[in-house]
Homo-oligomer: A and B are copies of this chain.
Amino acid sequence: MKREISYAEGILEAFNYLLTNHQNVFVIGQGLWSPWYVGASMKDLDVKYGKERVIDSPVSELAVTGAAVGASICGYRPVVVHPRMDFMVLAIDQIVNQAAKWRHMFGGKSIAPVTIRGIINRGGEQGAQHSQALHSWFAHVPGLRVVMPATADDARDLLVASVLSDDPVMFIDDRWCYEHKSQVVDIEPVRLDSVEPRVLKEGNDVTILGIGYSSLLCLEASTNLEKDGISAEVIDLRILNPIKVKNILKSVEKTKRFVVVDGGWTNCGMAGELIARVMENISISDLSASPKRVTLTDAPAPTSSNLEEDYYTKSVDIEQVVKTMF
């Protein structure tokens, strides 16, 4: 039976599913006994599953993440929650030097199947150190699977898949998606490595690829573009590493125009990467316009509402870029 749920509810359902069905799952991080900062997405987990399995922690990102890595090596499936990516950078050694390489450097004899939930929590005049979206960094690292859902059903199903994956997974969660709603059926676990970019809307004139929350903006833009007679195909990347491009290439070959929209900075970001992937894999004659990207303003996040207005991408920015291609 289909039901409609929000993204935040999707996350909560995933946690409930995992904690109920998998005794080796536990959750650890700051704020878990009072998870006000993640909306409803973790409500009452500590009450339902006990404070032994839903563990609030000292302000020690590095050791807490390392502890989760250690527990994952010993058979557990921990989810570490970092309320903000900005704080999580303190734990990068454990994520990138340890977890991502554990399997490879030990010749496959051990794995570190930890899931790290890094939350992008921006806007609201929070400023330079509370607004970062560093997903492109993690996508750079072989050994780490990087997941960034845009829709409620994906939020739920990809979180389940992340925790059940035998690899370390960076699950990136954008607060701006939390109210997004979609239809779901009951949870049927999928294999994370089988997940491909998803066509959210079909179209013929241009392929607009979104990443995380940007995919929702792309949908919005596509609706407006229709009024201008432009039929946009919208694709949601979903998995940032290892990256799969088959669906994207197929779409670009059809539409002959390609725009990537990402809420991260430009240089060495996900948007440029996808342009490069497309360019190396199609023949130039398949394109009728130079590929374009729409990215975050290349500056630290401001606090002033006046500047925030300019700083973040809006769907109209996407529409404008698309229109220059015709």
Using a CB–CB cutoff of 8 Å, the interface residues on chain A facing chain B are 62, 86, 89-90, 92-93, 96-97, 100-101, 104-105, 127-129, 132, 134, 136-137, 139-143, 240-243, 264-265, 267-273, 275-277, 279-284, 287, 289-293, 298-300, 302-303
Contact = CB atoms under 8 A, between A and B. Distances in A.
Contact of A276 (B105, B132, B271): B271
The listed residue with most B CB atoms (<10 A of its CB), out of A86, A137, A277, is A137
Contact of A139 (B268, B284, B289): B268
Nearest to A276: B272
A143 B300 contact: yes
Contact of A128 (B104, B134, B275): B104
Number of copies: 2
Contacts of A104: 128, 299-300, 302
A299 B267 contact: no
Contact of A136 (B268, B284, B300): B268
A289 B284 contact: yes
B272 A142 contact: no
16 contacts: A89-B93, A89-B97, A90-B92, A90-B93, A104-B128, A105-B129, A137-B140, A139-B267, A139-B268, A141-B265, A142-B298, A142-B300, A268-B273, A280-B293, A284-B284, A284-B289
Contacts of A240: 267
A281 B290 CA distance: 8
A287 B129 CA distance: 41
A46 to B, nearest CB: 28
Nearest to A105: B128
Contacts of A276: 271-273, 275-276, 291, 293
Contact of A243 (B100, B267, B270, B303): B267
A279 B299 contact: no
> Which 6 pairs show the lowest CB-CB distances between chains A and B?
A272-B276, A275-B276, A101-B300, A101-B128, A105-B128, A136-B268
Contacts of A132: 97
A290 B300 contact: no
Contacts of A243: 267
A141 B132 CA distance: 10
Contacts of A267: 139-140, 240-243, 273
A271 B273 CA distance: 9
A281 B241 CA distance: 27
Contacts of A303: 105
Contact of A290 (B92, B242, B283, B302): B283
A222 to B, nearest CB: 21
A264 B92 CA distance: 18
